[in-house]
Structure 1
Amino acid sequence: MSHIAEFAARLDEAARTATATQQIDPESVMSLEQAYRIQAANIAHRVERGEKLVGVKMGFTSRAKMIQMGIDDVIWGRLTSDMRVEEGTALKLSDYVHPRVEPEIAFLLKAPLAGDVNASEALAAVEAVAPALEIIDSRYKDFKFSLPDVIADNASSSGFVIGNWHAPDTDLSNLGMVMSFDGKVQHVGSSAAILGNPVRALVAAARLAAEAGIPLQAGAIVMAGAATAAEWLVPGTYVRLDIQNLGSIGFHVQE
Structure 2
Amino acid sequence: MNWLADFAETLDQAAVGARAVPQLTHARPDLTVEDAYAIQKLSIDRRLDRGERLVGIKMGLTSRAKMRQVGVDQMAWGRLTDAMMLDEGGSLSLANFIHPRIEPEIAFLMGAPLAGRVTMVEALAAVAAVAPAMEVIDSRYEDFKFALPDVIADNSSSSGFVIGGWNDPSQDLSNLGVILEVDGAVTEVGSSAAILGHPLRSLVAAAAMVSQGGGRIEEGDIVLAGGITAAPALHGGQAIRTTIENLGSVALRVQA
Determine if the TM-score, normalized by the shorter chain, exceeds 0.5.
yes
The 3-state SS of whatever aligns with 1:231 is coil
Q: CA deviation at 1:63?
A: 4.2
1:141-156 matched pairs, under 5 angstroms:
141-156=142-157
For 1:15 and 1:175, the matched residues in 2 are separated by 34
Aligned equivalents of 1:69 and 1:181: distance in 2? 25
The answer to whether structure 1 residue 193 and structure 2 residue 233 are counterparts is no
**Who is 1:7 aligned against?**
7
> 1:49 aligned to 2:50?
yes
Q: Over residues 61-80 of structure 1, what are the superposed CA-to-partner deviations in whole Å (9 max), with x where a residue is unaligned?
A: 02465588564x42100000
The letter of the residue matching 1:136 is: I
CA distance in structure 1 between the partners assigned to 2:66 and 2:237 by the alignment: 30
Unaligned runs of 5+ in 1: none
Contact 1:28–1:148 (CA<8 Å) still a contact in 2? no
Q: Which residue of 2 aligns with 1:129?
A: 130
CA deviation digits over 1:43-84, x for unaligned, max 9? 00000001111111001102465588564x421000001000
Supply the RMSD in Å over aligned alpha carbons. 1.5
Letter in 1 for 2:126: A
DSSP 3-state at the match of 2:165? coil
How far off is 1:98 after superposition? 1.1
Give 1:21 deviation, angstroms.
1.4
CA contact under 8 A between 1:53 and 1:78: conserved in structure 2?
Answer: yes
Taking a change above 3 Å as real, the CA distance of residues 158 and 43 of structure 1, as seen in their structure-2 partners, is same
| Structure 2 residues not aligned, in runs of 5+ | none
Q: Return the alpha-carbon distance in structure 2 between the equivalents of residues 133 and 249 of structure 1.
A: 7
Normalising by structure 2, what TM-score? Answer: 0.95
In structure 2, what is the Cα distance between the partners aligned to 1:183 and 1:64? 23
Amino acid at match of 2:84: M
Moved more, 25-34 or 143-152: 25-34
The Cα shift of 1:211 comes to: 1.1
Q: Percent identity?
A: 56
Q: Normalization by structure 1: what TM-score? A: 0.96
